[in-house]
Amino acid sequence: MTAALGTPRVPFWRDVRVLKWVVQIVVVAAVVAFILWLYGNYVENAERQNIPTGLEFLDNPAAFQITGNPLSQSAPVSDALYQGFLNTLRIAVAGIIAATLLGTIVGIARLSKNWIVARMATVYVELVRNVPLALFVTAAFSVVVLGVFPAVQEAWTPLGLMVISNRGVAVPWFEGSGRGLLLTIAVAALAWWVVAKWRGRVADRTGHLPRSGLWGGIAFVVVMVVGWFAFGTEATFPDLDGRSSVGGIRIDPSFFALFLALVIYTASHIAEIVRGSIQAVARGQAEAADAIALSGFQKMWYVVLPQAFRVAIPPIGNQYLNLIKNSSLGAAIGYYDLTLVTKTAVGNGAPAVPAFTLTMVIYIAISLVTSLIVNIANRRMALVER
């Protein structure tokens, strides 16, 4: 430890700090160079063969129609892509809501003390999780829609409310101002929330049971009924008319099959997450709920599930992302989501590379927004913990 033996200056080629930087820069430069090389080759080859490399194709007429959409075939490709994007959002939103509900129920059922219920849930999860989704999609279409549903001439009309055939499932719908209905629903939801809050305060003051669900529900229904008549909204019921149904709204058979497959498949994954998350909640919590004589439902609803969902949100968010991406499998059965619209556009003259790149960017955007929403939900749940 004398001054003469003091640490010599490490030459820069052996200095870890410098090396770290150098390696990173080299890696980045190599990746950038490689991508530029690929891109350069692509542009050059494309130009030699007169293939457009820009996005001008978006303004060309699409020259095809989208099933179940009034879009005219002379509309530009960009409009067709937008309709495909909306169809992807439709299947994603509907699928996410249904898969979450079914997954939660099955996840709880797996832990049921009822032997049959628990076994059935296990069989469902294990069977479904281990089969490729593409098979479910084709099977939902070939077996359920084409095999089980009747031809339109012999359509099922349960209670006169629905028309079910292999050309789609028609359900009652409303007629009138869509905005008015949305506004009514929003006000009704607000009324529910306000009434529930008020019942909570009353319960705090008086010690009576709050029954906020009952009171809020009544408020919701009252506002809905008032709004329904105020806006002059009317219900239409589907009816069979020769080879198609009139009235109501018809759910496209491809949508139905894809929805069925995505929900059954994704719910099996969500069920496992829910089961794991419930088991991750400390046992004492459930025992404490039993000790204060909460019913089975109250124990789950007020004590266990809120804590379980805190654990479950990030992995369930991943399942949502999977569901959105998996919705592109609907192309095989003719569901015009973003992927199928892009493929059809490419088949009708749009250049493949820019078209598919654009579609990928749109999927990335959808996924990032979904992650953002899940992260916000996660952060809010996490805050409650403190």
Partner 1 sequence: MRTTTKRAIVPLMALALLGAACTSDGDSESGDSTPDGTEAPAATDAPDATTATTDTDDTVEVVQETESTLAKVIDAGVFKCGTRDALPGFAFLDPSGEHVGFDSDFCRVIAAAVLGDATAVEMVDLETDARFTALQSGEVDALVRNTTWTATRDGAEGATFLQPTFYDGQAMMVASDSGFESLADMNNVVICVAQGTTTEGNAAAEAAKLGLTWEVRAFEDPELIQEAFIAGQCDGWSSDNSQLTGFRSAYPEGPEALTILSDEVFSKEPLAPAVADGDSEWAQAVSWAIFATIQAEEFGITSENIDTFAETTDPAIQAFLGQEVDGAVLDPGLGLPTDFAYQVVSQVGNYGEIFDRHLTPLGLERGVNALWSDGGLIYAPPYR
Nearest to 69 by CA among 86, 55, 57: 86
Which region holds residue 157: left if phi is over 0, alpha if psi is between -120 and 50, else beta? beta
In the complex, minimum distance from the CB of residue 311 to partner 1, in angstroms, rounded to a whole number: 25
CA distance 199 to 207: 11
In the complex, minimum distance from the CB of residue 3 to partner 1, in angstroms, rounded to a whole number: 34
CA distance 338 to 360: 10
Of 296 and 347, CB closest to partner 1: 347
Of 200 and 347, CB closest to partner 1: 347
Q: Hey, is 74 helix, strand or coil?
A: coil
In the complex, minimum distance from the CB of residue 50 to partner 1, in angstroms, rounded to a whole number: 5
Burial class (CB in 10 A: 0-12, 13-18, 19+), 77: buried
Residue 106 CA, chain-centre distance (Å), reads: 18
Of 268 and 344, CB closest to partner 1: 344
Of 32 and 123, CB closest to partner 1: 32
Of 142 and 295, CB closest to partner 1: 142
In the complex, minimum distance from the CB of residue 163 to partner 1, in angstroms, rounded to a whole number: 14
Q: What letters, b where the CB count within 10 A reaches 16 and e where it falls short, cover 131-162?
A: eebeebbebbbeebbeeebeebeebebeeeeb
Phi, psi for 292 (deg, rounded to 5): -95, 20
In the complex, minimum distance from the CB of residue 304 to partner 1, in angstroms, rounded to a whole number: 36
In the complex, minimum distance from the CB of residue 152 to partner 1, in angstroms, rounded to a whole number: 7
In the complex, minimum distance from the CB of residue 273 to partner 1, in angstroms, rounded to a whole number: 24
In the complex, minimum distance from the CB of residue 232 to partner 1, in angstroms, rounded to a whole number: 28
Of 286 and 332, CB closest to partner 1: 332
Amino acid at 323: L
Q: Hey, is 174 helix, strand or coil?
A: strand
Of 218 and 353, CB closest to partner 1: 353
Of 220 and 256, CB closest to partner 1: 256
